[in-house]
Structure 1
Amino acid sequence: MTTCIDHMLDMELETFPGVRIVVPTHLLYRSQDPLAVQLLFHDSVQGLIPWVFARDLLAEGTRAPTGTGDVRIWPTGTGAEALVHLLLSSPHGSAHLMASLPEVEQWVRSTYRLVPTTEETQALDLDTHLARFLNGTP
């Protein structure tokens, strides 16, 4: 059985220092893939733009700067006005996005209630994924 926790929020894309564009974003977590989170950015030209990375990376990034390479996350501020920053890099460029830290923290906590860290490997069902891979089925 697949269970998911999703949440819509508006992130802000910093295009130039001080210039921000609102980007509707869908946060998605599926118990069948317990180690990952997905951010689906809604772009009026390209449609959905997905980013998938480690749930632990996002959780850690809400508390302290973390990440190297393609995904870097860090918090700023305190209280209701606090932000979480995501710097996403690809061969096509990079994007600096910001969102409400309390809102993202609440969503991340809900993913850990669904699949606690201690149950991630059980929920992953490696045997089924390996069998599908070896049989050439998706």
Structure 2
Amino acid sequence: MNTFVHTSLVVQLRSGAADRFPVLAHLSYDADDPFAVTVAFSHDGRILARWQLDREMLGDGLVRSVGVGDVRFAPEPDGPWQEVRMEFHGDAHPEAGRHHAVVFAWAPAVAAFLRQTHRVVAPGTENAGVDDFLAELFTESRPHGG
């Protein structure tokens, strides 16, 4: 069974008050990290930013506003398309303020990607591997020998 899902979408980036311009969003999902979706934004073959997103939160953002802090998602009702608005707040920069970008993606394409991830690992069946991690941690911390 394939445990990896990937798709590339053309999305619209708006940084600051500027107009939107197209960039590629490469979404990937790996069953080894079942709660996360990684998205890399690129333009002219150069990676602009890479974010690790919460898969459930991304799905919720297709139907309602979610998120506080650095990452927020919401359906975008004002545009001509069914869009999801992805808002990212980055590190502070020396000129004052924080880096901020808004990305608009076609919601049906994001939903289709998430459905593919759900076929790999169904929602609610994710295994965080905490038990394995703790077992390995305790094994390594035991004194060796006698």
Q: TM-score higher than 0.5 here?
A: yes
Equivalent residue runs for 1:26-65 within 5 Å: 26-44=26-44, 47=47, 49-65=49-65
Tell me which amino acid in the other structure corresponds to 1:125: G
**Matches of 1:109 and 1:102 in 2, distance apart?**
10
Maintained 8 Å contact 1:42/1:49: yes
**TM-aligned CA deviation for residue 48 of structure 1:** 5.5
Q: Could you tell which deviates more after superposition, 87-96 or 12-21?
A: 12-21
Q: Could you tell which deviates more after superposition, 11-20 or 63-72?
A: 11-20
**Matches of 2:18 and 2:41 in 1, distance apart?**
21
Tell me which amino acid in the other structure corresponds to 1:10: V
Could you tell me which residue of structure 2 aligns to residue 69 of structure 1? 69
**Matches of 1:48 and 1:4 in 2, distance apart?**
23
Equivalent residue runs for 1:1-138 within 5 Å: 3-15=3-15, 17=17, 19-44=19-44, 47=47, 49-77=49-77, 81-92=81-92, 93-121=99-127, 124-130=128-134, 131=136
Maintained 8 Å contact 1:85/1:96: yes
Structure 2 unaligned spans of 5+: 93-98, 141-146
**TM-aligned CA deviation for residue 45 of structure 1:** 8.1
Tell me which amino acid in the other structure corresponds to 2:53: F
Structure 1 unaligned spans of 5+: none
1:28 aligns to what SS in structure 2? strand
C-alpha RMSD of the superposition: 2.7
Deviations 1:43-83 (A, max 9, x none): 448535210021111010011010000100001239x9200
**Matches of 1:54 and 1:47 in 2, distance apart?**
20
Maintained 8 Å contact 1:31/1:115: yes
Percent identity over the alignment is: 28
Deviations 1:8-67 (A, max 9, x none): 001111135461111111001100000111111114485352100211110100110100
Tell me which amino acid in the other structure corresponds to 1:113: R
Larger relative helix fraction:
1
Maintained 8 Å contact 2:26/2:39: yes
Tell me which amino acid in the other structure corresponds to 1:117: P
Higher CA-based Rg:
2
